[in-house]
Structure 1
Amino acid sequence: MKLLMIAMRNLWRYQRRTLLTTALITLGVMAMLLFTSTAGSFKQMMIGQITDSMIGHIQIHKKGYVSSIDSLPLTMNMKPKMVEKAEAELNTLNEQGKIEAWSPRLKFGAMFSNFNETTNLRLNGILPEKELQTCPELPSRIIGDKPENLVEPGSILLPELIAKGMKVKVGDAIVLVATNRDGSVNGMNFTVHGILEGLSGPGGRDGYIHLEDAQALLRLESTEISEIAIRLAAPQNEKLVMKALKSTLGSLTNQQGKPAFEIHDWEKLSPFSNIANMIDLMTLFIKIMLAAIVLISVMNVMIMAVYERIREIGTLAAMGTPPNRILQLFLTEGVLLGLVGVAFGLMLSAISIYLLNQAQISFSFGRQTGLILEPVLLWKDVIFASVIVLSAAVLASLQPAWKASRLNPVDALRQV
């Protein structure tokens, strides 16, 4: 306690320098936490828009499907027995509270015609109730009045790009023509049920029809699906659920002894994972800059403190103060600077984040507008910032403190 009181007194003797250094550390902590919380909010918003309106958190496919997904191969669909095994495992995970919902999808390419022009279209055959549970934000992409049901037999949700290009609106009749894996062609009439706002990247041009219509259009005799999209009860448990699925479904083999299933998280299926990784990388750079700022500022203060107090250090040594006590004194001063800076930085960060949430700052992502930024100060970020600042303060104090503890009392007392 005496050592702490002496260290506090020594810092207060040089008020201006101590206040400037503390302010610099405070601003560094505040800048890092504000950037981390806002960048994290944008990242989670981006991930939420992708997983909750299109992909889901995890997807299950037949082995080899994802590598050829651009061509939407019907030969890589999961047969009824595979679907039963997958759903049995998903039921188990659902009972354990790890999975909230899942949705079977039949994906294929088709020709779209408004009776005057024709173009290509990617389609998803879905069960509306299951799709809404798995991707609850999908209805928010529907432009204009939201239909009572997501999609009904005989209707289609059309991507905005196709609707504008083909001059089609809600209520219009259109024709879909598809080729099944045997090469036979089939066509069916549909009514436009709604227009979907586009998203950037794969999936932004996909249309949706009822799964029964998709099977009828492709003339499938059995219930085949291309993928199963999964929504997790807690997205932070993604790795645990992936591990569980890979240990069960991933270990199953087909008649040739090769893996039957492949399981992918949203990062493997969406190019936006690269943007999320860039956000994490920028956050890391900010943290490194913070550590450098604290290191340099504290080291500068401690070096100046040693040079200005050489005679004082010599007096302490001449009075019998052991070198390790002098070392502890200067280390304590450095740690105090870090502690005060962290305390004020955390307080100001909490106030700033509260004000940002009250301001309701909105931004756009892809074609989505009006997304509200909701920064959150996480405990792991607070702990990390505190540890990195205090560690930098200790490291910055070590060299000056070591130099002070090794000063020769006679030489120090001669110092003018």
Structure 2
Amino acid sequence: MYNIFKIAARNLLRYKRRTLLTSILITLGVVAVLLFVSVSGSFKSLMVGQITDSMLGHLQVHRKGYIASIDSLPLNRNLQGKQVAKVKEVLDASPEVEAYSMRIKLGAMFSNYNETTNIRINAVNPKQEQQASPMLTGRILQGEKEGLLDKGEILVPELIAKGMKVKVGDTIVLVATNKDGLVNGQPFVVRGILESISGPGGRDGYIHLSDAKTLLRIDKPEVSEIAIRLKEMATLPDVLANLKEALGGILNKQGKPVFEVHSWEKLSPFSKIAAMIDLMTLFIKIMLVAIVLVSIMNVMIMSVYERIHEIGTIAAIGTSPSKILALFLTEGLLLGILGTLIGLVISLLAIAGMNVSSISFDFGRQKDLLLAPVISTTDVLLVVGIVIAVAVIGSLQPAWKASRMNPITALRHV
């Protein structure tokens, strides 16, 4: 086997220009794929982090049917005391869960005493919310960030603050209707102006959980949703499955499930952008396969055609077809390995250079987000494996043709 590798290497060196050009083509393909995977993966992780760590959480638990009617923020589908206690029991027993936040979501009328508009309110426990959404305070454009907010205070979304000419320290009134149809109003002091994570169309404000219960005249424990933050994002599929298993078997008096559990992908439109990034990555990998396949097949077909007489000679002196087949497959393998190794080194150096350069970009209202490209060992091994496997596959047909040549016919070839 060693002799086959040695002869294959010598054959590649005999045609230095062709070997060099083919290796460069494979190298460019490998570099393009690895850089795209690292940059797009970094962008995707950064955006997912912005969404989950400042608003949604990684997972959310609701009462069954809540998400289907979430646009109307139905108060009659809130989780009640025993249901909340059951979810807390399950979450407290899960070692993968870092924090969770109880929320009441409601629609209300926002008044500055001169004008009125509608607003979506997230009523939260400040301490829980900061643990479950650690980047939320970073969205406060004006006002005190420490402690998020106190009772009697409100964080107003920037869109409403500008439209209603509301500033930090102003007093506003929220008017809401509870699930029994009773209307109630309550004054609040503007604690801060909040940047919207989803762009200029955001209308989500924040108040204290106790204030929401007073506004809605809720005298029993209940919440609209429980947002969950995990210690590691990679554990999301397993935790999601475990929560569905633990809560899915709990039925109401009608024999229907009480709870529904959703990951952030089911709750955010950005999941479609993330899916598009994954699809683009797949297409880039397919292009890499095409580049390697075409280049290797072209080189090996030309190699077989130019060495017909040589193939006839080694076949005539007793070289078996299997060894001739192995010789040409080895040449394709060495070409794939050479191009892959060079491409891998260049890619890793380029990724390191981008991290040192501290490249930043803007995404919607988010400014100066730092791009930190990384490439996982799994992605590297996958790309390397694809290139080498395709290099061997691309060599298969020319190698098979060479191994099946009639020695006498080959020796007559000029």
TM-score class, shorter = over 0.9
Deviation at 1:377, TM superposition (A): 1.4
When structure 1 is superposed on structure 2, of 139-148 and 264-273 the one drifting more is: 139-148
Report SS of the residue matched to 2:76. Answer: helix
Matches of 2:320 and 2:342 in 1, distance apart?
Answer: 34
1:108 is aligned to 2:109: no
Deviation at 1:145, TM superposition (A): 4.8
Report SS of the residue matched to 2:147. Answer: coil
From 345, 348, 352, the equivalent of 2:346 is 348
1:47 is aligned to 2:45: no
1:57 is aligned to 2:55: no
Deviation at 1:364, TM superposition (A): 1.5
When structure 1 is superposed on structure 2, of 102-111 and 203-212 the one drifting more is: 203-212
Q: Does the CA contact (< 8 Å) of 2:144 and 2:191 recur in 1?
A: no
Q: Can you list the C-alpha shifts for 1:360-391, whole angstroms capped at 9, x where unaligned?
A: 11111221111011100111110110111011
Deviation at 1:250, TM superposition (A): 1.4
Q: Which amino acid aligns with 1:187?
A: G
Matches of 2:41 and 2:197 in 1, distance apart?
Answer: 21
Report SS of the residue matched to 2:206. Answer: strand
Q: What residue in structure 1 maps to residue 289 of structure 2?
A: 291
Q: Does the CA contact (< 8 Å) of 1:314 and 1:409 recur in 2?
A: yes
Report SS of the residue matched to 2:251. Answer: coil
Q: What residue in structure 2 maps to residue 142 of structure 1?
A: 140
Q: What residue in structure 2 maps to residue 239 of structure 1?
A: 237
Q: What residue in structure 1 maps to residue 14 of structure 2?
A: 13
Q: Which amino acid aligns with 1:136?
A: P
Q: What are structure 1's unaligned runs of at least 5 residues?
A: none
Matches of 1:132 and 1:163 in 2, distance apart?
Answer: 23
The alpha-carbon distance between structure 1 residues 203 and 264, as it changes in their structure 2 partners (threshold 3 A), is farther
Q: Does the CA contact (< 8 Å) of 2:199 and 2:365 recur in 1?
A: no
Q: Can you list the C-alpha shifts for 1:309-347, whole angstroms capped at 9, x where unaligned?
A: 000000000000000000000000000000011111110
Q: Which amino acid aligns with 1:352?
A: A
Q: Can you list the C-alpha shifts for 1:167-209, whole angstroms capped at 9, x where unaligned?
A: 0011111011111111111111100001111222799321000
Q: What residue in structure 2 maps to residue 322 of structure 1?
A: 320
Report SS of the residue matched to 2:193. Answer: strand
Q: Does the CA contact (< 8 Å) of 2:142 and 2:194 recur in 1?
A: no
Report SS of the residue matched to 1:383. Answer: helix
Q: What residue in structure 2 maps to residue 264 of structure 1?
A: 262
Report SS of the residue matched to 2:79. Answer: coil
Matches of 2:388 and 2:191 in 1, distance apart?
Answer: 59
Q: Does the CA contact (< 8 Å) of 1:54 and 1:203 recur in 2?
A: no
Matches of 2:11 and 2:192 in 1, distance apart?
Answer: 72
Matches of 2:379 and 2:201 in 1, distance apart?
Answer: 33
From 200, 207, 210, the equivalent of 2:208 is 210
Q: What residue in structure 1 maps to residue 85 of structure 2?
A: 84
Q: What residue in structure 1 maps to residue 131 of structure 2?
A: 133
Report SS of the residue matched to 1:259. Answer: coil
Q: Does the CA contact (< 8 Å) of 1:160 and 1:198 recur in 2?
A: yes
Report SS of the residue matched to 2:185. Answer: strand
Q: Which amino acid aligns with 1:147?
A: K
Q: Does the CA contact (< 8 Å) of 1:60 and 1:262 recur in 2?
A: yes
Q: Which amino acid aligns with 1:268?
A: K
Matches of 2:243 and 2:86 in 1, distance apart?
Answer: 11
Q: Does the CA contact (< 8 Å) of 1:200 and 1:366 recur in 2?
A: yes
TM-score normalised to structure 2 length: 0.98
Q: Which amino acid aligns with 2:73?
A: L
Q: Can you list the C-alpha shifts for 1:123-152, whole angstroms capped at 9, x where unaligned?
A: 011000000000000011110354322011
Matches of 2:201 and 2:376 in 1, distance apart?
Answer: 32
Q: What residue in structure 2 maps to residue 25 of structure 1?
A: 26
Identity across the alignment (%): 61
* Aligned alpha-carbon RMSD (Å): 1.1
How many correspondences in the alignment? 413
Q: Does the CA contact (< 8 Å) of 1:291 and 1:389 recur in 2?
A: yes
Q: Does the CA contact (< 8 Å) of 1:125 and 1:214 recur in 2?
A: yes
